[in-house]
Chain A
Amino acid sequence: VSERTPAQRGRAALAGGRYDEAVRCFAAAASLQPEDDDLHYHHAVALLWRGLPVDALAALESCIALRGPRLAAALELAVTIRKQIGLPVHGQMILPGARPVAMSTAPVGPMTTLPGTGVSPYAHSFRVAADQILASKRRP
């Protein structure tokens, strides 16, 4: 039986790329120490790697509500997530000096068409990805 705390196990899992385990550990740690904003923040980071950005926003809301040392980082991350997944950003969430999200601005050539890419900010990435999948199919 491991004597390490859920938070310690969560950090080890996150560093080791065991994201599902990291999510479970940080969820347990945050429920044991709900006043520790660092645990909510790392829970959010683990959820992002787990492919669950909407759930990460909920963890960040818990972090932000505590107004602790992670406040600025949590606000900046929440804004980034909301922008990238296409949710509106509330004015009060933007801190002075927050960095804008870098998106590809490379011109889109006559590449594969995907439904919806005409209005998606990820249009270029999606089209390049589609071309790569097609190229792999055509390879002998």
Chain B
Amino acid sequence: MTERPAQVMAPVVLRFLARVAVADGVIDPSEIEVLVYVAATMGLAEADARRVLDDELATRSDAELLARQLPDPAHLRSVFGLGCMMALAEGQVARSEQQVLDAFARGAGLSATEAREILDEIAAQMV
């Protein structure tokens, strides 16, 4: 029997962050390494994380649907914040990345104002 993920939120978070990272059409090997490390912090083994990433890059999840998998508002805001960090990692949020963030925010039930406030809060920390 194939094992299930020990931490069921890890694939959701990993897929969302990968979705942000690949929004501009390419994903850098260094971004892959960051994502694998992030997955490890959530209890996902490296081999499992790489399999999920390969699947995600082949299928491209709907970020709005991923957000609907996290009913806890505290989880949603934290995961959205991580997505903002990924998007801001290159300095500014590209239009394609913003579209993924907007889709996740819609699924999370965050207003445009709330989403903007979180993005601004994260951006301020990354200066």
List residues of A whose CB falls within 8 A of some B CB.
11, 14-15, 17-20, 42, 44-45, 48-56, 77, 80-81, 84-87, 102, 112-120, 122-123, 125-126, 128-130, 132-134, 136-137, 139
B54 touches A17 (CB 8 A): yes
A136 touches B30 (CB 8 A): yes
Question: Among residues 55 to 100 in chain B, which have CB atoms less than 8 Å away from a CB atom of chain A?
Answer: 55-56, 58-59, 61, 65-66, 68-82, 85-86, 88-90
8 A-B contact pairs sorted by A residue (CB < 8 Å):
A17-B51, A20-B55, A20-B59, A49-B52, A51-B11, A112-B125, A116-B75, A133-B89
Q: For the complex, give the distance between the alpha carbons of A128 and B34 in Å.
A: 11
A132 touches B34 (CB 8 A): yes
Least CB distance, A40 to chain B, in whole angstroms: 14
Closest 4 pairs between A and B when the two form their complex, measured CB to CB: A86-B72, A17-B51, A116-B77, A114-B81
Main secondary structure of the interface of A (DSSP, over half): helix
Collect the chain B residues with CB atoms within 8 Å of residue A55's CB.
Answer: 69
Q: For the complex, give the distance between the alpha carbons of A56 and B72 in Å.
A: 17
A120 touches B55 (CB 8 A): no
The verdict on B111 contacting chain A, using a C-beta distance below 8 Å, is no
Q: For the complex, give the distance between the alpha carbons of A102 and B7 in Å.
A: 9
Collect the chain A residues with CB atoms within 8 Å of residue B9's CB.
Answer: 53, 84-85, 122
Collect the chain A residues with CB atoms within 8 Å of residue B58's CB.
Answer: 18, 20
Q: With CB as the reference atom, state the residue of chain A lying closest to B4.
A: A45
A85 touches B74 (CB 8 A): no
Q: For the complex, give the distance between the alpha carbons of A109 and B93 in Å.
A: 28
B72 touches A120 (CB 8 A): yes
Q: Which of A19, A53, A85, A125 contacts B42 (CB 8 A)?
A: A125
Least CB distance, B11 to chain A, in whole angstroms: 4
B8 touches A84 (CB 8 A): yes
The verdict on B103 contacting chain A, using a C-beta distance below 8 Å, is no
